[in-house]
Amino acid sequence: MSVITIERKVLEKNDEIADQNRALLKRHGILAINLVSSPGAGKTSLVERTLEGLGKRLKVGVIEGDVQTDLDARRVERYGVPVVQIVTNGGCHLEAKLVQDALLQIELRDLDLLIIENVGNLVCPANYDLGEAMKAVVLSTAEGDDKPLKYPGMLRNASVVILNKIDLLPYLNCNLAELKSNALQINSRLEVFETSCTTSAGIPRWCDWLMTKGARKP
3-state secondary structure of 83: strand
Residues 6+ apart with CB under 8 A from 13: none
Residue 3 scores a pLDDT above 60: no
Q: Residue 200 maps to which CATH number?
A: 3.40.50.300
Choice between 102 and 10, residue whose per-residue pLDDT is larger: 102
SS3 of 68, please?
Answer: coil
Average pLDDT of the residues in 189-209: 98
Task: Provide the pLDDT confidence category of residue 4 given band limits of 50, 70 and 90.
Answer: very low
Q: What is the pLDDT of residue 206?
A: 98
As a dihedral over the C-alpha atoms of residue 37, residue 43, residue 47, residue 53, rounded to 10 degrees, the angle is -100
Residue 90 gets the label, from left (phi > 0), alpha (psi -120 to 50) or beta, of left
Percent of the chain with pLDDT over 90: 86
**Higher confidence at residue 151 or residue 68?**
151
For the segment 64-75, the average pLDDT, to the nearest whole number, is 91
What local confidence, expressed as pLDDT, does residue 68 receive?
85
Average pLDDT for 134-155 = 97
pLDDT for residue 91: 81
Cβ atoms of residues 48 and 35 within 8 Å: no
Say how many domains are in the chain. 1
Task: Give me the pLDDT at residue 211, please.
Answer: 96
Strand-pair partners of 64 = 85, 117
Please report the pLDDT score of residue 216 as a whole number.
Answer: 57
Model confidence over 7-16: pLDDT tens digits?
Answer: 577 789 999 9
What lies within 8 Å, CB to CB, of 37 at 6+ separation is 43, 120, 122, 137, 138, 139, 140
Domain enclosing residue 150, as ranges? 2-214
Angle between helices 203-214 and 43-54 (to 10 degrees): 70
Q: Is the C-alpha dihedral spanning 135, 68, 113, 191 positive or negative?
A: negative
Residue pair 183/155 in contact by the 8 Å Cβ criterion = yes
Helix (H/G/I), strand (E/B), else coil: 189: coil
- Classify 160 in phi/psi space as left (phi over 0), alpha (psi -120 to 50) or beta: beta
Q: What is the CA radius of gyration of the chain?
A: 17
Give me the mean pLDDT over the 96-105 stretch. 96
